[in-house]
Amino acid sequence: MKIAPLIKEMDKYGDKIKYILLHTGQHYDKKMSDIFFKELEIQEPDINLGVNKGSQTEQIANIMVKFEEVCLKEKPDLIIVVGDVNSTLACGLVASRLGIKLAHVEAGLRSFDRAMPEEINRIIVDHLSDYLFITEQSGYYNLIKDGVEKNKIYFVGNLMIDTLIQCLNKKTNILKKIKLEPKKYCVVTLHRPANVDDRKKLESIIKILKNFNKQVVWPIHPRTKKNIEKFNLGGWLKNFIILEPLGYLDFISLVSDSRFVFTDSGGIQEETTYLKIPCLTMRKNTERPVTISEGTNVLVNSEKEIVETLKFLNKKKSSIPKYWDGKSAKRIVNILLKIL
């Protein structure tokens, strides 16, 4: 989702930029990966490493081995990695080892929680990178505090918002399919181990959801679904609308007409901020503080906090952060043209 607008912008400069699109295979569920290439109207990957099994450490190691082979063959001038997933770390490490310039899109974000694997990934990749593209001002302060040179940092805005804006005119009829009216439901997404891997924690969250006075629509993540089955909690969901993982167009259509969103995701905090949809994030921290200071996001970590937040759902003032305007890809490509 973050690469799509970048690919489309680079396509305008075919005489100056030659790129190879590589998919590591890390996100291997067909409904959570392959469909995005089609919906976002970008080409199938030139290379797919097919690394989709094993522990996090095995994944990172296997991606590194296979990606190194690609780099030795293709000899790229620059490697661009996005976000904070294991693929980003693995490819960043290979770039550093081979002495290839590295650009990190969505750099500088920090939750200050080292228990989150993504936090470790962010920190390491930021220190390895030659060019760091940030989405919000907090990223700049975090990088400077970490000792990153100012001339490596570029405030370009948010590629996720580029994608969101491009997709808003492609809304689907998913509400009609599941027989819902706008603003009469809330959307739930949960996948983080801290929320779904522990039976007691998952039970408490489902109990909270059952007390919402809106219809709960839950596109369920494979990890969460597996644990609900493992803990025999399926019977607790009978009053919810449970959906398989959705494509991006269906999901954004669902979110944009919802009353509010209950999540533990990172990107949804940004999308709801742009859409001005209230967002309750079931976490103790967020690496995207601008979604709280300027956006619609509120951190909640207990039933009491949720109840209090719901009382004042529409009273939180919000605005769209700087450079979240659909032009981030253009800024990045213009910088790359000057650099290269």
Catalytic residues: 191
Residue type present at position 88: T
C-beta separation of 85 from 106 below 8 A: no
At 185, give phi and psi (nearest 5°): -150, 165
- Spatial strand order in the sheet of 101-107: 78-82, 101-107, 131-134, 153-155
From residue 114, alpha-carbon distances to 89, 233, 297 in Å are 15, 30, 22
